[in-house]
């Protein structure tokens, strides 16, 4: 009574259907990406190097009011993004965000130094020059004196603006030097 079954190497194939929940999450993420791209400026969009059809659609969506037509346009962009590899786009977008965040942080640092210089005078200038030895001492002293005189007289803050610009250039040169040194370190690691 020993029965043997021979299957003759039959292979059963099962249909693997994509997970609907995952597909919906992916499409929602692409829709959010299309919304985010529609909020970018024209210069930032150029940096993304999007395919022409997507770029044109994003530019159109950015000019639309937040109503039904815009939502349909964003769904169209989402469909186009679904057809391509979005990893390079995401990487470039994160770089744009990082630059924006860095610019805001740098702006706040420069504003604090300007306000500190105007309020504290030569003590703050000495601290700044200790921190930034490459700074033009004479120009900073002159701008500081003029800004303080303008503030006391209630005049428009022309010298204060010039002082801000000078400080911004000073800190921008420093951050450029930091960026260059970091790049060299990455090359050495490779």
Predicted confidence (pLDDT) per residue in 125-153, tens digit: 889 888 888 888 899 899 989 988 888 88
User: Cα separation of 148 and 153, whole Å?
Assistant: 9
Last residue within a domain, chosen from 58, 84, 110: 84
Is residue 110 domain-shared with residue 70, that is, in the same domain?
no
- Does residue 79 share a domain with residue 113? no
Q: Among 40, 64, 84, where does a domain finish?
A: 84
79 and 103 together in one domain: no
**Residue 2 banded pLDDT, cuts 50, 70, 90:** low
Asked whether the whole model's pTM tops 0.85, one would answer no
Average pLDDT over residues 150-160: 87
| DSSP code of residue 135 | S
Range among 24-33, 120-129, 154-163 rated most confident: 24-33
Backbone phi, then psi, for 41, in 5-degree steps? -75, 170
Give the tokens for residue 190. 């490779």
The tokens describing 3, both together, are 């029965």
The mean per-residue pLDDT over the stretch 101-115 comes to 88
pLDDT grade for 171, boundaries at 50, 70 and 90: confident
Q: Is 107 found in the same domain as 68?
A: no
* Residue 16 pLDDT: 78
Clarify whether residues 101 and 180 are in a common domain.
Answer: yes
Range of the domain at 142: 93-189
Higher pLDDT, 80 or 187: 80
The verdict on 175 and 100 lying in the same domain is: yes
* 181 shares a domain with 126: yes
CA gap 98, 100 in Å, rounded? 5
């Amino acid at each position: 009574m020993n029965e043997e079954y021979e299957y003759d190497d039959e292979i059963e194939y099962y249909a693997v259907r994509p997970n609907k929940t995952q597909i919906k999450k992916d499409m929602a993420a692409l829709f959010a990406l299309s919304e985010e791209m529609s909020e970018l400026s024209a210069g930032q969009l150029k940096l993304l190097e999007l395919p022409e059809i997507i770029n044109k659609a994003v530019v159109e969506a950015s000019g639309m009011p937040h109503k039904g037509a815009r939502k349909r346009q964003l769904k169209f962009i989402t469909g186009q993004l679904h057809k391509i590899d979005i990893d390079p786009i995401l990487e470039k977008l994160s770089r744009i965000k990082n630059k924006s965040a860095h610019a805001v942080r740098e702006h706040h640092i420069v504003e604090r130094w300007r306000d500190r210089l105007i309020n504290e005078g030569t003590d703050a200038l000495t601290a700044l020059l200790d921190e930034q030895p490459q700074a033009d001492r004479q120009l900073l002293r002159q701008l500081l004196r003029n800004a303080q005189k303008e503030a006391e007289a209630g005049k428009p803050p022309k010298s204060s603006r010039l002082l801000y610009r000078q400080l911004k250039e000073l800190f921008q040169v420093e951050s450029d030097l930091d960026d260059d040194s970091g790049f060299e370190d990455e090359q050495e690691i490779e």
